[in-house]
Structure 1
Amino acid sequence: MDTTRYQKLFTQQGFWRKLGPRARSLGRETLEKALYLYYAVQSPLTPKWAKRVIYGALGYFILPLDAIPDLAPLVGYTDDLSVMAAALATVAFYITPDVKAQAQEKLGQWFKTPATPAYTDA
């Protein structure tokens, strides 16, 4: 999916507004992918081309009108999850242990669980 047109739609305020009140209802998998992308785009180590991919995926995620309405039970975030998964596959190198740790910390706050340590090659 070409996410070029969605790049301009991403805003931090829109991202947190989408997640805020219904974070837990989105499901841990969707949240985790969204947070990986969000924290990767904040990193100075992520190059501009990768940030464009991420902004496109997150812009699609926060867009109120998408292929499958988000209000549809169980399937509403399927398209969002697919777009984010494709973006993650494209920019996987920039999903660093630090990015994963930040995402896990936020997930721990929402789901009231301790942060899961990021995978290391030890």
Structure 2
Amino acid sequence: MKHSRYQHFYTPGRFWQKLGPRAQSVSRGVLEKALYLYYAVQSPNTPKWAKRVMYGALGYFIFPLDTIPDLAPLVGYTDDLGIMAAALATVAFYITPDVKAQAHRKLNDWFGTSAANAYTDA
């Protein structure tokens, strides 16, 4: 996978550093996918091959020099979204209800219950 070369850029600290101050400005769809990957990669039930895919996508997400700068209005996260969607399609089996619940709780913390509830059927 193309994004596997980015896996060494991922660390939990860098992930939260990227999201922390910008969470409100990032699309909820991008946040949801990033959080799915973040929580799934922490699960001991996720196999190593799937974690490598997740680390690659998360590494690309936090990579400071990605293809489309994240500060560009409207299109800044489209490349990140594409990479994360491809990774999620590959590892969908490991995005468990528990992983989704953790992500939705975090979305709820950031945006309130209406945002978290919007994703409960996803």
Superposition TM-score, scaled by structure 2 size: 0.93
Amino acid paired to 2:31: L
Amino acid paired to 1:86: A
Distance in structure 2 (CA, Å) of the matches to 1:103 and 1:72: 25
Moved more, 2-11 or 51-60: 2-11
Amino acid paired to 1:112: G
Amino acid paired to 2:34: A
Counterpart of 1:20 in structure 2 is: 20
Distance in structure 2 (CA, Å) of the matches to 1:101 and 1:20: 19
- Deviating beyond 4 angstroms after TM superposition, the runs of 4 or more aligned structure 1 residues are none
Amino acid paired to 2:74: L
Amino acid paired to 2:99: V
Counterpart of 1:59 in structure 2 is: 59
Per-residue CA deviations over 1:19-69 (Å, capped at 9, x if unaligned) read 000101101100000000000000011000000000000000000101101
Distance in structure 2 (CA, Å) of the matches to 1:16 and 1:105: 15
Amino acid paired to 1:44: P
Distance in structure 1 (CA, Å) of the matches to 2:64 and 2:7: 14
Distance in structure 2 (CA, Å) of the matches to 1:4 and 1:46: 17
2:21 alignment partner, SS class:
coil
Distance in structure 1 (CA, Å) of the matches to 2:67 and 2:27: 19
Structure 1: gaps (5+ residues): none
Contact 1:97 1:118 in 2 (8 A): no
Amino acid paired to 2:47: P
Distance in structure 2 (CA, Å) of the matches to 1:3 and 1:84: 9
Alignment of 1:24-43 (within 5 A): 24-43=24-43
Counterpart of 2:71 in structure 1 is: 71
Amino acid paired to 1:92: A
Q: CA deviation at 1:15?
A: 0.2
Superposition RMSD in Å: 1.4
Count of aligned residue pairs for this structure pair: 119
Q: CA deviation at 1:118?
A: 4.8
Counterpart of 1:8 in structure 2 is: 8
